[in-house]
Chains A and B, each alone.
Chain A
Amino acid sequence: MKILIPFFAVIALVVIALVGAQASHALFGIWIPYAAVLIFVFGFIFKVLKWGRSPVPFRIPTTAGQMKSFAPWIKQNKLDNPSSSLGVLGRMLLEVLAFRSLFRNTKTQLYPGTKLTYGSEKFLWLGGLAFHWSFLIIFVRHFRFFMQDVPYPIQIVEHLDSFLQIGAPLLYITDVVLLGAVTFLFLRRVMMPQIKYISLPADYFPLLLIFGIGATGVLMRYFAKVPVVSVKELVMGLLTFSPVIPQGISSLFYAHLFLVSTLLAYFPLSKLMHMGGVFLSPTRNMANNNREVRHINPWNYPVHVHTYEEYEDDFREKMKKAGLPVEKE
């Protein structure tokens, strides 16, 4: 069930797009994408603001190495246990760009008598990295559709991405990597018992959706070639708020666009918000300088305490007998 529901949901989305686009190009080519982008932008902002509304009452970094100690002869681990904003920035970049935490696993020994297996966690690190980076690169490559003249940096990216020089049109490595990585992440969820145990439909759905986006994209580029000029016309129309529906774009493109729209609209409602959340995570985005720099809790309030005077009242006789100094005789 947990897999079937999202699976059929994605199939249904594709069917809706294929059928629906026949009926109304404008709806699937113009209005739904507009709506999706709106939901994405406002949803994202709304969510981040909602998180931001809750304060960070305490400075609670998870420290992952030697702290800045009282003297330099004890060497601080500046990236894993930063004490300055610069260090925090470094830690964050390492986390976001290289998935530092996922890389942390170290393997030591294996069962005697069983075959060597590589730590699956390193695979998660690799798979996650491959997935996110190829997604990003593919996203950047798409800018050729968003701009009149393709900027030089994007040309470089495209060039590098297709350096294998296979096929016509040239094969992009990231296309392969993305589909491979999504498949890996999916299989991992299905096959590893612990992961399967905790997985929800909301975990399978984005994977399947992204697979669908990748697959339709690949089909368009390499097989059912879609006229690039027309697509660009449509996209530029959207971007300049003078939407047009050029002729000769196949339903496949609309399916691709519809899945992307779905992803955009789904994004702010879902766990995909980890993209924004990681920057707001108090265990990662704070410096471990607690004893050096004061941290204020905005809702700190006075509490009822048991004062020394009350304590002495309770025990005065005993304290005197034991020879302890007292405030009141």
Chain B
Amino acid sequence: MTLETFLSEKKPAIAEKWFHLILATYPADTSNFLKNQKDRFTNPVGHTIHQGIEEILDELIHVVDIGKVSPFLDSILRVRAVQDFTPSQAVSFIFSLKSVIREELEGDKNFAVSPGELRELDSRIDSLALASFDIFERCREKLYEIKANELRRMTFRLVQRANELGGEPDAESPPERKQ
């Protein structure tokens, strides 16, 4: 039996375990909510993670095509990028997949996976992790870009300039933005 068949057969179990491990990276009160509320629109965070990992697992079964798997990683990391995680914390969930899969393997004696296959799987997961770092970084950059854009669009300096156009510079100028 190959690792491939193992992964596709065990996918639901692996997904479930992995999901719970990811949620364990949230504070307890938070993770309970994310776990228990199933509506897509009521609990978009939980839903996004859940859907993301299912799709990542589908990809993992084959040779990982980073281009294809990126959107799924992105959906998860985009959420985590605004949720008080450091980059390493945000990305760590990828690594926990290794232990989830190993646990599943140990739990099922019918499958004997060669060390070579396992190494191959590990390196696939590593490449996911590397991609994740990039994606996380991009999300953070996006945030900064949005901040900067907003400041550019709405700065009070611009307003001030507009005000000055018609007369003396205003003595009591509006507050400077702190940034």
Contacts and interface: CB of A to CB of B under 8 A. Distances in A.
Interface of A: 107-114, 117, 119, 192-194, 197, 317-318, 321-322
Interface string B43-76: 0001100110010000000000000000000000
Given A318-B166, A318-B167, A110 B40 contact: yes
Interface stretch (B30-38, B80-88, B122-130): B30-38
B7 to A, nearest CB: 15
B91 to A, nearest CB: 23
Contacts of A110: 38-40
Contacts, number: 42
B contact face: mostly helix, strand, loop, or mixed: helix
Contacts of A114: 38, 50
Contact of B36 (A107, A192, A197, A322): A192
Contacts of B41: 108-109
A111 B47 CA distance: 6
Contact of A193 (B29, B38, B54): B29
Contact of A108 (B32, B33, B39, B167): B39
A285 to B, nearest CB: 29
Contacts of B121: none
B32 A317 contact: no
B47 A193 contact: no
A197 B46 CA distance: 19
B97 interface: no
Query: Which among A117, A193, A317 has the highest number of chain B CB atoms within 10 Å?
Result: A193
Contacts of A194: 29, 32-33
A193 B36 contact: yes
A109 B40 contact: yes
A contact face: mostly helix, strand, loop, or mixed: loop
Interface of B: 12, 15, 29, 32-33, 36, 38-41, 46-47, 50-51, 54, 166-167
Nearest to A197: B29
25 contacts: A107-B39, A108-B41, A110-B38, A110-B39, A111-B38, A111-B40, A111-B46, A111-B47, A111-B50, A111-B51, A113-B12, A114-B38, A117-B38, A119-B39, A193-B32, A193-B33, A193-B36, A194-B29, A197-B29, A317-B167, A318-B166, A318-B167, A321-B166, A321-B167, A322-B166
Contacts of A117: 38
B38 A108 contact: no
A314 to B, nearest CB: 9
A113 B15 contact: yes
A110 B38 CA distance: 6
Given A194-B32, A317-B167, A109 B51 contact: no
A117 B37 CA distance: 9
B169 to A, nearest CB: 12
A99 B15 CA distance: 39
Nearest to A109: B40
A89 to B, nearest CB: 32
Contacts of B40: 108-111
A193 B40 CA distance: 19
Nearest to B163: A318
Contacts of B54: 112-113
A113 B46 CA distance: 13
Contacts of B39: 107-110, 119
Contacts of B36: 192-193
